[in-house]
Amino acid sequence: MSLLHARISHWAFWEDRDEHAVLKSGASGHIAVPIDGMNNANLARSLKPAWRRRLDLYGRAAAEVLGHTIRDGDNPHIVFASRHGNIDRTLKLLHQVATNETLSPADFSMSVHNALVGVASINWSITQSHTAISAGNDSLIAALTETLCQLTSEDGPVILCYVDLPLPDIYDDNDPDDISGTALAIRFDQPTEPEGEMFRFDPIADHDPAVQPHRQARAIAACLGTPSKTGLNLPGKSGGWAMQPHG
């Protein structure tokens, strides 16, 4: 398979570890200073208030990083990925069903896996297609694969947006000890675009049965946030990608 090339012009990464929420973002040739205190109350300020009020932490974290990769007058394709989607809302709905309560219409509509992208599309007037992916712990790898494939067949930019929060207490035995709230957005532009740093993506056969997407997102952000870019291998359960600066 031939190597795939793309320019990364904007990115943003939010992480909440041990109740310490930090946002990092960058653009081509510029790395922003990390912003502390990016909790639920401070996220997604770029959304219109009517839409922002409908989002919980999951949606606001995703909207925050997505907003850092969208340009004025933009109309990008979006690849949205999450292991479980907004499982807090889903669990709340299941509890309402089990106790014969009336289902919350807001929770029902916003529990749909790609609901956040619908909100973003309206807020930023995006009319291009979007793709929603859920592939367990391979969700970020699957989203990167889809993003690169779309970039070869579409003219415009493709934005990858990945978000996950720790599982609710009832399921927390299924999460690793170092799990954190994570949201990552990366803007992939065509190699012919003048803006952005060029990267080469090479498929690899490396397998990682214990792959964890929050660690991969953290590694990608660290790679993009370092002035002297170095390569990064991103193995999944059935293969992955080598990400290398190019040119």
* Statement: 8-196 belongs to CATH 3.60.21: no
Q: Where is 148: in which H helix or E strand? A: helix 139-153
Distance CA 40, CA 230 (A): 33
Is pLDDT above 60 for 167? Answer: yes
Distance CA 165, CA 12 (A): 16
Please give the radius of gyration of the chain, using alpha carbons only, rounded to the nearest integer: 18
The proportion of the chain whose per-residue pLDDT surpasses 70, expressed as a percent, equals 97
Per-residue pLDDT band at 29 (split at 50, 70, 90): low
Is pLDDT above 60 for 176? Answer: yes
**Closest CA relative to residue 63, chosen from 53, 134, 151:** 53
Q: What is residue 1's predicted lDDT score, i.e. its pLDDT? A: 43
- Where in the chain are the domains? 8-196
Distance CA 175, CA 172 (A): 5
For 48-60, what is each residue's pLDDT tens digit?
A: 999 999 999 999 9
